[in-house]
Amino acid sequence: MLLFVGLGNPGQKYENNRHNIGFMAVDDIVHRHNFSPWRSRFQGKTSDGRIGTEKVLILKPETYMNESGRAVGEAIRFFKINPEDVFVFYDELDLAPGKLRIKKAGGSGGHNGIKSIDAHIGKEYWRLRMGIGHPGHKERVTGHVLGDFSKTDQDWLSKEIDAISRHIDLLVKGDSPGFMSKVAQDITPPKSKKIPAQKASSASTTRDQNTLKTAKPETSKADSDIKNSNDGWQSTLANWFSNSKTPQD
């Protein structure tokens, strides 16, 4: 069994906060993959189901962010889940909005939810860091993190949440590079070819070909003069022979 943990704060007040992007990610997985209804357990809410052939338990701690580790610790002890089978989805200030990074173990980066989980289960679990961007000044961090996503955020945010749940099977299979690549492609699709420019080039080529087919060779004035001159010389010579008299005449 795998354990997916979405981090956030419980309650309607925090529902659309940037700090709750982890909740948003696991909510969409539950919805897309038809997991069981949420129920209260392990100091949080859980839902379970299958992705491919793998059974997955999803947990949203309700201990508030700073005590997230308590709920995660209870869940893994109950199901005897190894830390390396735990995947935590959470917000990351040091990544640009819409960027996703995955790593196993490492530091907390100052994230209080991750600090708490480290304290309860160790560091050997997977971290899915979802970028929310940095406000630029340290004193503005709290307001930024606990502020709601803006209207301008909705485009990349909806694409990222959808892409994560759409391609989550790759992560379950152990293909984290493939998973990150697919998510990135869905958020920022490859640029399409410049068809108008190709059409213009094609039209230009066609015009050139048609011009070559229909154009008549131009005769220069010099060529014309030479031709007329040659005709005059031949005519003069013919007249001379016809009018000349031999000595016998």
| Alpha carbon of residue 209 to chain centroid | 42
**DSSP letter for each residue of 161-187:** HHHHHHSHHHHHTT-HHHHHHHHHHHH
Q: How far apart are CA 124 and CA 101, in angstroms?
A: 16
Q: Which residues are catalytic?
A: 19
Structure tokens at 168: 């989550």
Averaged pLDDT, 171-187: 95
Give 22's contacts (C-beta < 8 A, 6+ positions apart): 5, 6, 7, 8, 88, 89, 90, 91, 113, 130
| Each residue's pLDDT tens digit, 97-123 | 999 999 999 999 899 999 999 999 999
Q: How far is CA 202 from CA 16, 40, 70, in A?
A: 51, 64, 66
SS3 assignment, position 52: coil
Higher pLDDT, 189 or 56: 56
Give the CA dihedral 115, 116, 122, 125, nearest 10 degrees: -80
The pLDDT value given to residue 207: 54
Lowest mean pLDDT among 15-24, 33-42, 196-205, 211-220: 211-220
User: What pLDDT score does 159 carry?
Assistant: 96
pLDDT at 96: 95
H, E, C per residue of 69-129 = HHHHHHHHHHHCCCHHHEEEEEEECCCCCCCEEEEECCCCCCCHHHHHHHHHHCCCCEEEE
User: pTM for this one?
Assistant: 0.76
In this prediction, residue 132 carries a pLDDT of 97
Confidence tier at 147 by pLDDT (50, 70, 90): very high
pLDDT-derived band at 198, boundaries 50, 70, 90: low
The pLDDT score that the predictor gives to residue 188 is 87
Whole-angstrom distance, CA of residue 31 vs CA of residue 53 = 18
Which helix (H) or strand (E) covers residue 56, if one does?
strand 54-61
Helix H or strand E segment including 21: helix 21-32
| CA-based end-to-end distance of the chain | 130
- The rounded mean pLDDT for the chain is 85
Q: Which residue has the higher pLDDT, 220 or 8?
A: 8
Q: CA of 116: how far to CAs of 27, 60, 69, 113, 244, in Å?
A: 22, 14, 5, 5, 127
pLDDT at 94: 93
> Is pLDDT of 208 > 70?
no
Of the candidates 104, 91, 98, which has an alpha carbon nearest to the alpha carbon of residue 163? 98
